[in-house]
Each structure stands twice: as C-alpha cells, then as structure tokens.
Structure 1
Amino acid sequence: MPYLILAFTFLLTLLTQCQTAPANPAETEYEAQIDQRPSQRRAAISAAWERKNWLLVNTCEHNREARALDVILKRIVADSSHGRRLRIVRLSELSKTDLGSNSLLMVGNKLPTAVLNGFGATGPEDVRGYDLSMPDWSLRAYYLQNPWSVADSTAAMHLHYASDIERLSNQLEDLYQSDNSWRSLFRGRYGYAITEGNAARVRGFFSDDDWRPDEEEELTFHPPQGPTYEDQQVRLFAPEGGPTKQTVDQFAAQVGSIKSKIARWYKLDSLPIVDIHLYPTLERLSLRFQRMNEVQFDQEDHDLHVSLPIIDNDRELFFCMLRWARQIGSLPTVEAYLDRGLATLASGQLLITKKGIAELESQGLFPSLAELKTIDRESFGDYLYDYAAAVRTYEHFADFGLGLTHSSGERGADRFSLAVHNGFEKGMTFAHEGYCIYNGYGGGTVDASLDSLATLGVNSIAVVPYTFQRDPNVTGEMPVAGSAGSENNAATRSSIRRAHLRGWSVMLKPQIWVGRDSWPGDIDFTTEAEWKQWFKRYSEWMLNYALLAQTERSESLCIGTELRFATLKQPEKWRNLIRAIRSVYDGKITYAANWGEEFDNIGFWDDLDIIGLNSYYPLSEKADATDEELLAGARSWVSMANKVAVRESKPWWLTEVGYRSVEQAWVNPHADAGERARSEIAQARSYEALLTSLDEASEFKGMYVWKWPSYLGRGERRKEKIGFTPGGKAAGELLKVFYESREEG
C-alpha cells in the first residue's frame, strides 16, 4: 500500500526529530494552555482536602440570625456525606490563633475584614465591583488563603456568604440537592463565584502567585440593558450579545406559536408577555446558572433563558413555557410529569411507536404513571422519562380535551443510514476531560479540539458519557450524568451536533465507571435476582442514550463496554436489551468486547450489526522486541478477530485501541505508565505494527483510537506526554497517513 511507504518516511523523519529537535511547536502551544498551579498552592489544596477535622464557623453577628442559620448547619454536621468531622462555632468566639490553626468552613452574613482583604476590598459594598451587602447577592469561595494562618502561610479555607440568611439557607439547600450530599460545600469548579439571585455575575480563580482573584481568568456576566425585540407575545433580551435579526424573528415566531397552542388547550384568549433571555452558546448559559440545558426557567424571576440556536428541543421549550404559565397563575398547577408529557406530545418529538412501547412494556422498561411520580427524572434519564410521561398522559388524561394525539405509525420518515466515508470509520474516542463546563462536551473548547483532530484525517468520533457504579457486586443507581460540568445529555448532544456539522459520523458509547478500584469487567452477581435487577437498571440507563442517539441521528450506538461476566453469563438478557433498543433506535448497534476471553466467547454477535473489539492485546512480551516481532504479534490477534467477523458475516470495528507514548508500549498497552520513561518511538512502532496488520484484514471497517481530549489544555497528559493521545507525536502522523489512504478506495 502507498501509505506504508509514506509511513516509513514519516517515521524516519519524526524519530530523528525526537532525538535532535526542540519540542514540537504544537506541543509548546498546548503547554501554554495548561493550568499549571504551582506546587505550593497544590499542596495547600491537597492538604485541605485530606483534613478531616474542620471548624464550621457561623459568621453571623446577631443571635437571631445565627440561630436561624444554625438550623441548617446542624444538618450539615449530622450528615456524614461530606466525609468530615465538623464542629459549629461562632466567629465571635474564636481568637486569631484559633482561626489560624484550624481548617475553616465559614458560613454566614458577615465578611471578616481579613477575608475582604484577599479580594482587594474594604467592605462587602465593593467586592469585585459589586455590592454584596444587597439582599439578592452572595459569594462562594473555595480554597482561598486562610488570612489568619501564621504557621502555614499556604493554608486554605472555604466561604459561603450572603447578607440575607434565608437566601443563604436556600443556597445551601440547593447545594445539597445538586448531588444529594454536602460535598459541594468543600469543592467547587471555580475559585469563587458572585451571584445575583439565581444567576452568576462573576466566576473566577485565585492567582497562583498571591491567591488574589486572577483577572485574566475571570468570567463576567452582564445583565441586559433592554429588550432587543418586543411584541405582544414576547420580550427578548440578549445579555451576551445580539443574535441576528433573522434568528430573533424566527425564535419570536416559535414562542408565539407555543403560547397560542397553550392558550387554545386551556381555552384562554391569550397569555401575558414572557421575558426570555437569549445566549449565544450553551456554555455561556450554563456558566451563568451552573445548570446545563438549552432552555432553563428561573422560578424566582419567572424568566426563561435559552441558548441559541434551538435545535430539535421544542420539547424543553414547551415544558418551560408550561411551567412559566403555571407559575404566573395563568394555568392551574399540576405535577411536573404531566407537563413533561404534554410538552413531548405537543412538540411532535415522541419518536417511538406503539410496537416499540409494547416491547419496552413487555420487559418492564416503560414506567407506569405511578412510577413516574416517584422517579428522579434527571438521574433516571430524561428521554425515557419524557416519552413514558407522554404516553401515560395520553392514556390517562385524554378527557382533558387538549387536542393532543399520539401517532401509532412507524418511524419510517425518521430512519437514517450510517454516514460513512467509503465504508470506513476513521475514528477517535473523544473524551470529556474537563468538569468546569467550558472544557467539557458542552463547552467552547470542543471546536478547537475537533479542528485539531481533523488534521489527522478523522471522519468519526466516539462520544462517551459515563455513569457510576460504586460497587461491582451491588446494583446501584447508575445515574445519567446531570451536573453542569459533567457529560450530561445536553453536553453530549452538543458534541454530537458539532461533529455532525463537520460531516463526521458519531458512535455514542455510554460506559460505566466502577468504584472500589474496579472496572466494568468486575461487575458480577451470584443470584439470578441480582442479575435481573442489574439488567433492568442498565437497560433503562442505556435506553436514555438509544433515544438520544435516535433524536440526534447518531449513526451508531455501542450498547456496552467490557462487561465480561454480564455478557458471558447472561447472553439472553443481552438479546432482550438489543430488541428493546431496536424498538426505539434505527442506527447501527455494536458491543465493545474486552480483548481476550470476552471477545472469544461472546454469544450474541448475530444480533448485532457490527462486531466490536476493545483491543489491548500485547504485541510482544519482550522489552527489546524487533519491528518484525511487533508485526507478528499484531497479525496474530488481527487475524483472529477477522476470522470471527468472517464466521459471523459481519464487519468488525476496533471500538477502542491505543498505545501510550512510553517505553515498551507494546508489552501491556492498557496499563498505567508506571515508571516507564516517555518514548514517542515506542508508541509509533506499536502503531506501525497495528496499522500494517489492519491493512490485511478483509472485514475490518473502522476504529476508534483512545483518545483525544475535549480540552487541549488538559494538564497532566500534555505536560508529561506519556498518555495515549497521538496528537503532536510520531504516532499521529502514522495514523494520518493510514486514514488518508482509506480515501483511495
């Protein structure tokens, strides 16, 4: 193949550069983006995180306010979810020595002068230019320097402040509700945040050098000065800049149509004018409210906040409009699940047939009306919840006379085909590697990362949202990620859409992160009842992504990864799951089997469209293996995988494969770097053997290399350059040549 000749040329040149040339300019650029906190600050943060004994300092000066705040502070002390031993004390009772020699969590409506000094302020009336003495304003700060510390000048503390005690108590309660624990009192995505009402006005970090606010990293959110559009239906504001007139006109018409429909349902002449704030991106909206969704309803000021453009999310817009109408008193109050159902039906986004519903109901995977009333929608999965709510609403509330219908037709008009280029998926696993909103799947760094990835000739990405199972032998909640910085549904949608805008295909590949130093292959149970419970929750969780994939036209869906005991012990339950998924999803379905025993013994390949292999087979056990030995090692397992595909009459993909840029990368490819030194040469030699052998496999139709970050400033991987990412390395050039060769035929 011509690419091999080019590959050898590239390799020779790059290996020479590795020995004699200065750092790759691209890598130097990455280094400049790295968040390199100095060792002193990192040490302070690590020390504060490890400390178990803390003073919970009530800063209120007046006894009545202090007692009111103590109510919620006592709840915090009694709850062990934060993992710390807390003792409530009043600020007025502590000496400077006490303050300086303890770990502090300060909560209340007074900002001590020493703390204000750290913000360059003399009073609460001028903190970062805002008057925090006003009742709607609050300040939250994490790991700010303890100004009273004498023995250890790097000691850190946390602060939660609002001048209004009721507001502060409500904010603390919101923190608890965000993850059903008080852990958020001790950790934040930012160094500090100033909020007005429910909306952020400032978010920032503390400087590496003097622990003061770093102005270069500070994000400011300005309130709108006036509406950019107004008619009898809606007032539109653009606090982050003006959208085009065409966008404004189209959105105003969309809102007017929804309002008219709601008014007709309830036989009203009209509804009042609604105020809606428009944001240019999902990131900016989410940064302001620390919640990620394209449409959000602020129950405090009764305004809607929307990120543009609205793409196929009338469902959420309908729902927020219904909640708005009920909140202002125009409509009777109903439970939220009913509005979820009404919004899904009215938006025409119920992409599930009666046949599909029957399949899910036969497996106990379609919640009843009673179950909907008790399910937590966000962690359960909003797609399956909303679809079930729509059907149950239609079944139980048809006598409302709302003129809603549920089509029983097939999804023929919504079917889509696999978007491949010359029949080959030139893929990369696109990893969510930042939890501060801006650097994850829903953030603004995604475009730069995909632009860089495009230089390798990629035409497909795997998007990988995670859930969590704390114990491999206990079925847990397996929640759909919901926090603002996580790989939640809105963030996942965002990355899929950005890939599609480039003409790329997407494999949606949900995975489980397992606790207790385990991996998905450790998930195992001893009784049939335990397996049944686990598969029910796993199936519900996976159906959320099947419906998301259907809505977003994701070309393929990987229904599981490296669940060796589940697949080898329970093949029939996987066949049931595949039937359930096919009842709601029209794309290609695969499973990512772990290399070795699981791949060799999967019993349901015939029910899938594509055979999937996560391959970390050693190429050689020899530390000094020659190129010929590496190639022989690669050929042995590639040939084996290809024979499985021939036997099953199906194509096969490498759903995951990769090598670290460390010495002897081929010996144990999946392992941590350990003490192995950095070596782009070893990584490139491993890729050369892999790509050469894959060129000889007749049924091989695509691969997803592990991995590429959503944020190019990811610190440890770029700084140490010993990770899997091939970008800016010799292996990346080999991969580019291989992918480009596939365009020839």
Structure 2
Amino acid sequence: MEYIKGFTFGWLARKGDFEKIEAKQSLKLLKERTNSNYVIFALAALQDTAHSTKIDYTDSHMVDDDELVGMIEYARSLDLKVIIKPTVNVKDGTWRAHINFFDIDVPCEPRWRDWFRNYTAYQLHYARIAERMNCEMFIVGCEMVQTERREREWRKLIDDVRSVYKGLITYNTDKYQEGHVKWWDAVDVISSSGYYPIDDWDAQLDRIEGIIKPYNKPFFFAEAGCPSRTGSSLVPNDWSLIGNANLQEQEEYYKEMFMKTSVKEWISGFGLWDWSANLYDKEKAVLDSGYGVFEKPSEKIIKQFYTLK
C-alpha cells in the first residue's frame, strides 16, 4: 500500500456546507499547503444517547449525498485520493467509545442487534457512494471501543460492506486499543488514532508493532494530531483541555511524532486531524487553540514531511 499523506476534512460539516465556495477553497488550500495526497471525508451521524439504537444520518447535521459526491469530484480534480469515514456521535455529548448495551438481551432494554442493524444500514449507504465514486478506502467505524468486543457483529458488518464496496476496508480503533480488536484479519488495513503523549512515542510504537505484526497487514494512523494549546502535547486526545493558545507546542508535537514514526517502515501514513471546511481567518491563527494547522508553524512541518515521503 502506498504511503497515505492524508488529512481529515470537513468534520461536523452540516447540510449545505460542502456547497459553499469556502469549502472548495479550503480543500484547495489543504492540498497546496500540506502536500497531502489523500483526503478523509469524515461524516458524523447522530444517536440520542450512548444507549440509543436509532442512528440519524439524513437530517441537517449531515452534508447530503449530492454535496458529498460533488466534493469527492472536486477532490479528484485536485489529484487527491479519497477515503470515506462514516462516524457516529452521541447527541448528548457522550463520546462514541461509550456506546454500549447488555451482552444478554433483557426485555424492555435496547439491544445490540437493533443497534448493529441500524449502524450497518448507515455504513452501507456510504459504502455504495464510495463504490460509485471509486474511493480508495472505506473506514467502517471510529473509536467504537465498547462495541469492539462484539466480534460476530463486526465481522458480519464488514462482510456486508464488502458486498457493495470493492475497495480497501479498515477500522479506526482508538489509541491504546490496538490489541483489543480480535477481528483485524477481517479488514484489509489496520488503523488507529495516534494521539500519544509527546514523550511516549517510542514505547507505544513498539507495543503497536508487536500487536499488528502477526496479521501481516498495512497499518496507518487514521487520526493523529495535537491542539495548539499549552499542555496538549502530553494529552493530545483531550480536546476539552483548558489552556492558552500555544502554536509552538503543537509544532514540537508534530516534529516529534514525525521523527519517531518516520523510521518505522511498517507505518503506512496518517489521516491527520483535522482541516475545517470553513477556515478561520489567517490573522486569527495565532489565537486558535484547536487541532487546525492552517497558518500555524505546524503546517510547514507537515508539508515538509509529506513532501519528503
């Protein structure tokens, strides 16, 4: 598999957002300023609570199908390869890793079978689009930690996706969870979220390598990055951390991450987090404490790394 020099684009984009000229301008800037060769379109369906079985992927919180297709076509015109990543969020703010149900069915309680039926319908909807648009890869889930023990259901889901999509399939497990997924043999590519502390990359990379080696499959970090915020380099996964904008700390994190991973031949790339469809004004970059890298020192670090890869 070729090295994925990727970025996640348009996270939490709503209906109409991909039709705006700003979105296309943003994607063009992503290509020009980072030298990415892949874009990951991450979609965010909603369920009411972590214990709800209904998944809404048709309301105004999602870009519609025509918008997505149009943006995929535009990405192609920029010579970007495309990965589709249908994700689910919880409306009440609970992190999706906590979506969970009883392992034994109980009357009047929500059931795994109902959730997986609806989740599979959601995945298949976008897998068909991915197939029609010849997308290079499809990510069947992201950081669904409590669901991962349901091996039989995940295998069935992947088989169902394969029935409509012929490209590469992966699943994006969360940081530290690489060894807990027992069905890596069912996917084509292994991936995880690489939000590891700046001072812990060596230990974590050694651990991950030992886990994935027996599968003999490509691996990439489907997410990785760090907010430009004081303290974030030690907890890069904590988007809610309180701290002042600190562009240098983000820059140092990217330098360290790329230095440690570049010598590991088994790592086949990144889907960095993240690039907005509606960028902040460049004059405000110095005040931005989020994951974005537009007009920040990290942007140049990424471009240099991706250019040399």
Q: How many residues align?
A: 303
Counting only pairs closer than 5 Å after superposition, residues 519-530 of structure 1 correspond to structure 2 as: 519-529=95-105, 530=111
Pick one of 127, 130, 137 that aligns with 1:549.
130
Alignment of 1:617 onto 2:196? yes
Q: Secondary structure at the residue paired with 1:590?
A: strand
Q: Aligned residue for 1:506?
A: 82
489-498 vs 577-586, which moves further:
489-498
**Structure 1 pair 432–494 and aligned structure 2 pair: CA distance change class (3 A):** farther
Pick one of 54, 58, 63 that aligns with 1:481.
58
Counting only pairs closer than 5 Å after superposition, residues 569-608 of structure 1 correspond to structure 2 as: 570-596=150-176, 598-608=177-187
Pick one of 517, 530, 533 that aligns with 2:93.
517
Letter in 2 for 1:581: V
Q: Aligned residue for 2:41?
A: 463
Counting only pairs closer than 5 Å after superposition, residues 49-448 of structure 1 correspond to structure 2 as: 423-432=2-11, 435=14, 437=16, 440-448=17-25
Pick one of 647, 654, 657 that aligns with 2:214.
647
Cα shift readout 1:300-338 (whole Å, capped 9, x = no counterpart): xxxxxxxxxxxxxxxxxxxxxxxxxxxxxxxxxxxxxxx
Pick one of 721, 728, 744 that aligns with 2:295.
728
Q: Aligned residue for 2:223?
A: 656
Letter in 1 for 2:173: A
Shift of 1:617: 2.1
Cα shift readout 1:519-555 (whole Å, capped 9, x = no counterpart): 1111000144401111111111110011010011111
RMSD, aligned α-carbons:
2.1
Q: Aligned residue for 1:564?
A: 145
Q: Secondary structure at the residue paired with 1:659?
A: coil
Letter in 2 for 1:649: N
Letter in 1 for 2:151: P
Q: Aligned residue for 1:709?
A: 276
Q: Aligned residue for 1:149?
A: none
Pick one of 536, 540, 558 that aligns with 2:121.
540
Q: Secondary structure at the residue paired with 1:723?
A: coil
Cα shift readout 1:53-87 (whole Å, capped 9, x = no counterpart): xxxxxxxxxxxxxxxxxxxxxxxxxxxxxxxxxxx
Cα shift readout 1:659-706 (whole Å, capped 9, x = no counterpart): 011112211112135431111111111111100111111211111110
Cα shift readout 1:581-600 (whole Å, capped 9, x = no counterpart): 1111111000000111x322
**Structure 1 pair 665–527 and aligned structure 2 pair: CA distance change class (3 A):** closer
**Structure 1 pair 488–539 and aligned structure 2 pair: CA distance change class (3 A):** same
Letter in 2 for 1:584: V
424-433 vs 639-648, which moves further:
639-648
Structure 1 CA distance for aligned equivalents of residues 281 and 191 of structure 2: 29
Letter in 1 for 2:47: Q
Cα shift readout 1:179-217 (whole Å, capped 9, x = no counterpart): xxxxxxxxxxxxxxxxxxxxxxxxxxxxxxxxxxxxxxx
**Structure 1 pair 705–425 and aligned structure 2 pair: CA distance change class (3 A):** same
Shift of 1:434: 5.2
Shift of 1:720: 3.2
Structure 1 length as normaliser, TM-score? 0.39
Structure 2 CA distance for aligned equivalents of residues 682 and 693 of structure 1: 17
Shift of 1:572: 1.2
Structure 2 CA distance for aligned equivalents of residues 733 and 601 of structure 1: 35
Structure 2 CA distance for aligned equivalents of residues 468 and 491 of structure 1: 19
Structure 2 CA distance for aligned equivalents of residues 566 and 739 of structure 1: 34
CA contact (8 A) 2:138 2:167 kept: yes
Q: Aligned residue for 1:638?
A: 205
**Structure 1 pair 710–699 and aligned structure 2 pair: CA distance change class (3 A):** same
**Structure 1 pair 723–518 and aligned structure 2 pair: CA distance change class (3 A):** same
CA contact (8 A) 1:642 1:697 kept: no
CA contact (8 A) 2:22 2:277 kept: yes
**Structure 1 pair 714–472 and aligned structure 2 pair: CA distance change class (3 A):** farther
Letter in 1 for 2:38: S
Alignment of 1:700 onto 2:280? no
Q: Aligned residue for 2:30?
A: 453
Shift of 1:451: 1.8
CA contact (8 A) 2:44 2:86 kept: yes
Q: Aligned residue for 2:73?
A: 497
Q: Aligned residue for 1:291?
A: none
Structure 2 CA distance for aligned equivalents of residues 713 and 664 of structure 1: 22
Structure 1 CA distance for aligned equivalents of residues 159 and 230 of structure 2: 45
The higher-RCO structure (CA 8 Å, 6+ apart) is: 2
Cα shift readout 1:374-405 (whole Å, capped 9, x = no counterpart): xxxxxxxxxxxxxxxxxxxxxxxxxxxxxxxx
Letter in 2 for 1:448: Q
Letter in 1 for 2:57: V
Structure 1 CA distance for aligned equivalents of residues 147 and 15 of structure 2: 34
CA contact (8 A) 1:446 1:711 kept: yes
Q: Aligned residue for 2:304?
A: 737
Letter in 1 for 2:213: V
**Structure 1 pair 644–563 and aligned structure 2 pair: CA distance change class (3 A):** same
Shift of 1:497: 1.3
Letter in 2 for 1:497: E
Q: Which has the larger radius of gyration?
A: 1
**Structure 1 pair 436–493 and aligned structure 2 pair: CA distance change class (3 A):** closer
CA contact (8 A) 1:659 1:666 kept: yes
**Structure 1 pair 594–550 and aligned structure 2 pair: CA distance change class (3 A):** same
CA contact (8 A) 1:618 1:669 kept: yes
**Structure 1 pair 580–722 and aligned structure 2 pair: CA distance change class (3 A):** same
CA contact (8 A) 2:18 2:24 kept: no
CA contact (8 A) 2:10 2:275 kept: yes
CA contact (8 A) 2:12 2:62 kept: no
Letter in 2 for 1:535: F
CA contact (8 A) 2:178 2:211 kept: no
CA contact (8 A) 1:615 1:656 kept: yes
Letter in 1 for 2:166: D
Q: Aligned residue for 1:677?
A: 244
Q: Secondary structure at the residue paired with 1:481?
A: coil
Gaps of 5+ in 2: 106-110
CA contact (8 A) 1:554 1:587 kept: yes
Q: Aligned residue for 2:108?
A: none
Shift of 1:654: 0.6
CA contact (8 A) 1:509 1:559 kept: yes
